[in-house]
């Protein structure tokens, strides 16, 4: 039932090659011919078959996107832009949520390879470096440096950590907590932690650090973590949270405990997602240029696909958004 270029060819009275040519606009073709083909296309309601194209060209124009969880606002916003720019460049996006499950992440990589994607953007990264290097496909990494071969994109984590911590110190916080992402994953976000440490030590400020679980981030876990933190250290008067989602939990806990923000406790988050749909409480935060990150991720991946070398490292500037929690 499906109409193919063969049918078009018969209809117009030329060969399939010619049809293929006008479809791809290759070589010289008379306008008359073009018109007749166009007519036949609408008449027969022809739809090109990308699968056949992909097989023949050995290029699918699909990019795979592996992230931990699309429902996390940072990733949903990043994904929005990745999809947007991919589409602009003629690429489609296959979405994979690893849920930070190492096995699932590996399965997805195989799935994407089997699906002949032209490249992968990795926002999830629990697998080992060795597994990573087996991918053998154009890859761009978000927020993790795997090796010198694989280009990565991140925001200026060190500077973000420094600015956030200095903000709290500058506001005379005496005991500052840092709620960090998991440090074993060796993400570049770890630099936020490093910067935090340097600042508090340098200024002689009392501090406490807790980190989130390695096996994924569940909101309930965040809640428990924050609850325990304030339980163990009721005298905390400053918190640097490594994401806005966590910062919001801190806000909630403070509400619950009756702590005034920012009088008694000052809070600064990270990500800047509080700009999008998820803005609600005016938390102070370090804004990552999410849109830009998505754009460059796509562009650099495509460069790689086209065998032009993209920069190995892209560090984008962050911005302090000071609002009501500091």
Partner DNA sequence: TTGTATGCGTTATCAG
Partner DNA sequence: CTGATAACGCATACAA
Binding site for its own copies (CB under 8 A): 47-52, 54-55, 60, 62, 65, 69-73, 76-77, 79-80, 83-84, 87, 92-97, 110-111, 113-116, 219, 245, 248-249, 251-252, 276-282
- Residue 298 DSSP SS3: helix
Q: Which is nearer to DNA, 13 or 258 (CB)?
A: 13
Q: Would you say 166 or 252 has its CB closer to its own copies?
A: 252
Residue 29 interacts with DNA (CB under 7 A): yes or no? yes
The CB-side HSE value for 118 (13 A sphere, CA atoms) comes to: 24
As beta bridge partners, residue 230 has: none
Distance (Å, whole) CA 152 – CA 123:
10
Residue placing its CB nearer to DNA in the complex, 109 or 254: 109
Q: Could you say which of its own copies, DNA, none residue 284 binds, taking C-beta under 5 to 8 angstroms by partner kind?
A: none
b vs e for 251-283, b when ≥16 Cβ sit within 10 Å of the residue's Cβ?
A: bebbeeeebebbeebbbbbbbbbbbeebeebeb
> With binding defined as CB under 7 A, does residue 21 bind DNA?
yes
User: Using CA atoms, how far apart are residues 259 and 237, in angstroms rounded to an integer?
Assistant: 10
User: With CB cut-offs between 5 and 8 Å by kind, which of DNA, its own copies, none does residue 220 bind?
Assistant: none
Spatial distance between the Cα atoms of 181 and 41, rounded to a whole number of angstroms: 54
Q: Which does 101 bind (CB under 5 to 8 A by kind): its own copies, DNA, none?
A: none
Cβ at position 170, least distance to DNA in Å: 60
For every residue of 149-170, which 3-state class applies, written as one string?
Answer: CCCEEEECHHHHHHHHHHHHHH
Contact partner, 17, from DNA, its own copies, none, Cβ < 5-8 Å per class: DNA
Nearest to 298 by CA among 47, 51, 17, 61: 61
Among 25, 31, 45, 58, binds DNA (CB under 7 A): 58
Closest by Cα among 314, 278, 300 to 75: 278
**Nearest residue (CB) to DNA, 36 versus 175:** 36
Which of DNA, its own copies, none interacts with 33 (beta carbon under 5 to 8 A by kind)? Answer: DNA
Count the residues in the chain. Answer: 326
First-residue to last-residue Cα distance in the chain: 65
* 38 lies in the site for DNA, by CB under 7 A: no
Q: Which does 26 bind (CB under 5 to 8 A by kind): DNA, its own copies, none?
A: DNA
By CB under 7 A, residue 323 contacts DNA: no
Q: Decide: is 49 part of the binding site for DNA (CB under 7 A).
A: yes
Contact partner, 95, from DNA, its own copies, none, Cβ < 5-8 Å per class: its own copies
Work out whether 33 is an interface residue with DNA (CB under 7 A): yes
CA 235 to chain centre: 35
Q: What is the DSSP string of 69-126?
A: -TTSHHHHHHHHHHHHHHHHTT-EEEEEE-TT-HHHHHHHHHHHHHTT-SEEEE----
CB closer to its own copies, 76 vs 166: 76
DSSP3 helix / strand / coil % (the chain, rounded to 5): 45, 15, 35
State yes or no: residue 20 binds DNA (CB under 7 A): yes
The distance of closest approach from Cβ of residue 116 to DNA in the complex, given in angstroms and rounded to an integer, is 9
Binding partner of 84, given DNA, its own copies, none, CB within 5-8 angstroms per partner class? its own copies
Is 292:80 a contact under the CB 8 Å cutoff? Answer: no
Query: Toward its own copies, which CB reaches closer, 69 or 159?
Result: 69
List interacting residues with DNA (CB under 7 A). 2, 4-6, 14-18, 20-21, 23-24, 26-30, 33, 48-49, 52-53, 55-58
């Amino acid at each position: 039932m499906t109409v193919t270029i063969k049918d078009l060819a018969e209809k117009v009275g030329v060969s399939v090659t010619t049809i293929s040519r006008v479809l791809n606009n290759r070589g010289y073709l008379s306008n008359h011919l073009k018109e007749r083909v166009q007519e036949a296309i609408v008449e027969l309601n022809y739809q090109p078959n990308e699968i056949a194209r992909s097989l023949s060209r050995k290029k699918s124009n699909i990019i795979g996107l592996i992230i931990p969880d699309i429902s996390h606002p940072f990733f949903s916003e990043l994904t929005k832009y990745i999809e947007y720019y991919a589409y602009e460049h003629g690429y489609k996006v296959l979405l994979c949520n690893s849920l930070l499950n190492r096995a699932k992440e590996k399965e997805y990589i195989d799935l994407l390879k089997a699906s002949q994607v032209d490249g992968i953007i990795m926002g999830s990264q629990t697998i080992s470096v060795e597994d990573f290097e087996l991918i053998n496909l154009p890859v761009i990494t978000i927020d993790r440096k795997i090796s010198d071969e694989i280009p990565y994109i991140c925001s200026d984590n060190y500077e973000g950590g420094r600015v956030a911590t200095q903000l709290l110190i500058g506001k005379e916080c005496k005991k500052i907590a840092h709620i960090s992402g998991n440090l074993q994953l060796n993400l570049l976000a770890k630099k936020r932690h490093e910067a935090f440490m340097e600042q508090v030590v340098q200024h002689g400020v009392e501090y406490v650090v807790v980190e989130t679980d390695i096996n994924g981030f569940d909101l309930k876990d965040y809640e428990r973590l924050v609850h325990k933190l304030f339980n163990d250290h009721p005298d905390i008067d400053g918190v640097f949270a490594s994401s806005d989602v966590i910062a919001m939990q801190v806000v909630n806990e403070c509400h619950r405990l009756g702590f005034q923000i920012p009088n008694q406790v000052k809070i600064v988050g990270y990500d800047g997602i509080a700009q999008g749909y998820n803005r609600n409480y005016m938390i102070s935060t370090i804004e990552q240029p999410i849109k830009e990150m998505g754009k460059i991720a796509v562009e650099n991946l495509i460069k790689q696909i086209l065998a032009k070398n993209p920069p190995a490292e892209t560090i984008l500037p962050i911005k302090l958004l000071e609002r009501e929690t500091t």
